[in-house]
Amino acid sequence: MTKEEILRILRTAGDYVSGETLAETLGVSRAAVWKHIHTLIKEGYGIDIEQGRGYRLLVVPDKLYPSEVRYGLQAKMLGNKVVHLNTTGSTNTVARQLAERGVEEGAVVIAENQTRGKGRLGRKWLTRSGGVWMSIVLKPNIDPMHASSITLLAAVSVTKALRGAGLEAVIKWPNDVLVNGKKICGILTEMSAETDAVNFIILGIGVNVNNEMPLETATTMRSELGRKVDRVKFVQSLLEILEEDYLTFKNEGFTPILWSWRRYSDTLGRQVEVIYQDEVISGVAQDVDDDGSLLVKTEDGSMRKIVSGDCKHLKSSGR
């Protein structure tokens, strides 16, 4: 895309580049170059225009534009296409529409804000600008019964990315990532499947980054680190880690992911209370099974396998 190309040239040059050079390099007219420059300025890029010298990039906006996310991104498959929206209902819904129209695996939908952010089981996900709200289209060749592996995998990748940014992130089964006991990230995987095959999975990830978050149970990267975070760098590192974990999953299966999950888990070894289909199951969280189910040892000594549910940590694991 010419606009992205212009940005790439201006970034690499770090100096003025004439309209003529841009036009020649890209094989378009100078008027077309000017049109793209105008759009970039409208999008918030600070570009100095000097007669006789050309254009110089001075300021990049704090937006998760495809041209930012894809610039220097090491992931090959994830982010091969990035759709950016200033505001939308839910990025999961947009990603689903793209997947239904046959978009390639790895497409990412990112919004600066959502008006109807979705949590699990019809719950709401609070969205404020300054966070990372994105959905990724995946097409794993797995049994639909094993789709929840993707949720656990994503929790591992987000935890690694947060740790890379300097935060002591841990996982609460099944899909929450916590820092200092507060939720910093939620994951919502939605699936389209036949009886024995997955058509696609929409992996929705919400991370509180620089945004405000009024919930007492929630925290943000900014408030934990005491400084603003470079969202583009964070998204890039997340996509790169996620791609690596996803390839491991495809090549070696779920076992290595599960070991990482166990290492980062704050749930295992704890006294928990899990709400599962109108039933409250209390006991000690013993392990996760190879389909991502939680194994809870109840007071009468029996072991319960919980496929999905809401988990409350009761006592410290002492870990």
Answer for which of 19, 66, 117, 292 binds ligand BT5 (CB under 6 A) is 117
Give the whole-angstrom CA distance, residue 213 versus residue 130. Answer: 10
Instruction: Name the residue number minimizing CB distance to ligand BT5.
Output: 186
**H-state helical runs in the chain:** 2-13, 19-26, 30-42, 66-69, 91-100, 148-164, 221-225, 231-252, 255-264
117 or 283: whose CB is closer to ligand BT5?
117
Q: Is 222 in the site for ligand BT5 (CB under 6 A)?
A: no
152 is a site residue for ligand BT5 (CB under 6 A): no
Amino acid residing at 2: T
Based on the shown chain and the rule CB under 6 A, indicate whether residue 265 belongs to the binding site for ligand BT5. no
Q: How far is the CB of 251 from ligand BT5 (least distance, A)?
A: 27
Whether the CB-CB separation of 239 and 79 falls below 8 Å is answered with: yes
Whether the Cβ atoms of residue 77 and residue 98 lie closer than 8 Å to each other? no
Residues whose CB is less than 8 angstroms from the CB of residue 245 and which lie 6 or more positions away in sequence, other chains included: 153, 156, 157, 160, 257, 260
Nearest residue (CB) to ligand BT5, 119 versus 164: 119
Q: 84-103 mask for ligand BT5 (x: CB under 6 A)?
A: ------xxx-----------
Q: Tokens 């919400």 — which residue? A: 206
Per CB under 6 A, the list member of 22, 107, 142, 188 interacting with ligand BT5 is 188
Q: Three-state DSSP class for 90? A: coil
Distance CA 150, CA 55 (A): 45
| Residue whose CB is less far from ligand BT5, 33 or 210 | 210
Of these, 11, 30, 76, 123, which contacts ligand BT5 (CB under 6 A)? 123
Instruction: Say how far apart CA 53 and CA 177 lie, in whole Å.
Output: 50
One of 175, 189, 260, 308 touching ligand BT5 (CB under 6 A): 175
Rg over alpha carbons for the chain, rounded to the nearest Å, is 22
Half-sphere exposure of 212 (CA within 13 A, CB side): 2
- 213 lies in the site for ligand BT5, by CB under 6 A: yes
Q: Which residue from 105, 119, 140, 295 is in contact with ligand BT5, where contact means CB under 6 A?
A: 119
Rule CB under 6 A: choose which of 9, 26, 47, 126 binds ligand BT5: 126
* Among positions 56, 81, 120, 304, the unique one binding ligand BT5 when judged by CB under 6 A: 120
Residue 90 or 267 having the CB closest to ligand BT5: 90
Pairwise CA distance, residues 219 & 46, whole Å? 32
Residue 153 Cβ, how far from ligand BT5 at the closest point, in Å? 15
Q: Which of residues 36-75 bind ligand BT5 (CB under 6 A)?
A: none
Interface ranges with ligand BT5 (CB under 6 A)? 90-92, 114, 117-121, 123, 125-126, 133-135, 175, 183, 186-188, 204-206, 208, 213, 215, 218
